[in-house]
Structure 1
Amino acid sequence: MASFEEVVRGRRSIGKVKEDPVPRELVEKLIEAAIWAPNHHRTEPWRFIAMTGEGRKTLGEAYADIASAGWGELTEEERAKRHGAEVGKALRAPVVIAAVCSPSDDPRVIPQEELAAAHAAVQNLLLAAHDNGLGAVWRTGAPAYHPKMKTAFGLGEREELVGFVYVGYPDMPQPAASRISGAEKTTWLEG
């Protein structure tokens, strides 16, 4: 069994995965790890939308709907080709998990802390995926924050997507990585 440090240092964004299905129980295990993220006032400001099979087309159609705003002068054939490419973005992994920040109504809550907690939940999910032999990548970008994406997933007015985690069995070698040492990124204030 890998140590915590090995899991943290070994995790990479794996964007190329096999089409092999990931068992539902394993996806649920990843989400269970996610919900143990720290959160102020114990608000648990997250929820997840797990997409498999045809369910991923909700995401794909939202990508296409958002992108189509810039297709004004295209022919029908070009539009169809671009539509297919946009829908295909959602099919790059057998499982896509939309992570949603669903902030509490508690008056003590600070919105930035709710968002930070949802991001921490995604990190837990990514670490759990790696620890369970899966490849995963956290995808965001302008479409993730577009109002049409919120509508596609039926999000409430105060809810926000924090990204999409694409999950599957790796189909690429583990990329090398390095980091600037923590010592170089740390300032000590001592008395």
Structure 2
Amino acid sequence: VIEKLLSAAAQAPSHHRVRPWRFYVLQGKARQRLGEVMAQSKKREVPDAPEAVLEVERAKPLRAPVVIAVGVDAPQEAKVIEIENVCAAAAAVENLLLAAQALGMGCFWRTGPAAYDPEVKSFLGLAPEQHLIGFVYLGYPEAEHVLQERPSFEDRTIWMDD
């Protein structure tokens, strides 16, 4: 199933066909190791953080049986613009989320301070010039999730004619 999701993600458009996304699939004990790295990140961010706060951070990757961290390559050619790589990777994440939902999976995409921590990026194997655009949590829900109604598009849309 994860391969199907990654295949859907890889169908996202990317300018100059650079396919700038990188997927890091964490399962089993790898999630625990990520949790420890995230707790260390929190400790760097808040040096006097109580142990309970660090434990919450440690437990985040354990919320789902699979966590996919999504990285973005830095441009390798002058014609490639960095924001376009980030947008392409975000489109890949959206494809992954839509495919997961279509297969009856529960999923959510999170960032937070850990996504910007150089040590978290290093743990995943990302170079300093690469971005980590978040963590996708995947599993099968224990109960049906009721979607919250989303605001309408109208206040965010300008129609231009003539």
Residue identity opposite 1:178 in structure 2: E
Residue identity opposite 1:52 in structure 2: Q
Residue identity opposite 2:22 in structure 1: R
Equivalent residue for 2:105, pick from 119, 125, 134:
134
- Structure 1 residue 110 corresponds to structure 2 residue 85: no
**TM-score for the superposition, normalised by structure 1:** 0.77
- Structure 1 residue 56 corresponds to structure 2 residue 31: yes
Provide runs of 4+ in structure 1 moved above 6 Å: none
Residue identity opposite 1:37 in structure 2: A
User: Following TM superposition, by how much is the alpha carbon of 1:85 offset from its aligned partner in structure 2, in angstroms?
Assistant: 3.2
Structure 1 gaps of 5+ residues are 1-25
Structure showing greater radius of gyration is: 1
Q: Which residue of 2 aligns with 1:41?
A: 16
**TM-score for the superposition, normalised by structure 2:** 0.90
Q: Percentage identity across aligned positions? A: 42
Residue identity opposite 2:42 in structure 1: A
User: Following TM superposition, by how much is the alpha carbon of 1:83 offset from its aligned partner in structure 2, in angstroms?
Assistant: 4.2
> Which whole-Å deviations, capped at 9, do the CAs of 1:108-157 have from their partners, x for residues lacking one?
01101100111111000000100011000101111111112112112112
User: Following TM superposition, by how much is the alpha carbon of 1:107 offset from its aligned partner in structure 2, in angstroms?
Assistant: 1.3
Mapped to 2, the partners of 1:179 and 1:92 lie a distance apart of 24
Mapped to 2, the partners of 1:124 and 1:172 lie a distance apart of 23
* Structure 1 vs Structure 2 CA RMSD: 1.8
Residue identity opposite 2:71 in structure 1: V
Structure 2 gaps of 5+ residues are none
Residue identity opposite 1:104 in structure 2: P
Mapped to 2, the partners of 1:139 and 1:154 lie a distance apart of 19
Over 3 Å counting, the alpha-carbon distance change for 1:176 and 1:158 in structure 2 is: same
> Which whole-Å deviations, capped at 9, do the CAs of 1:16-71 have from their partners, x for residues lacking one?
xxxxxxxxxx0111011001111111110001000110011232011111112334
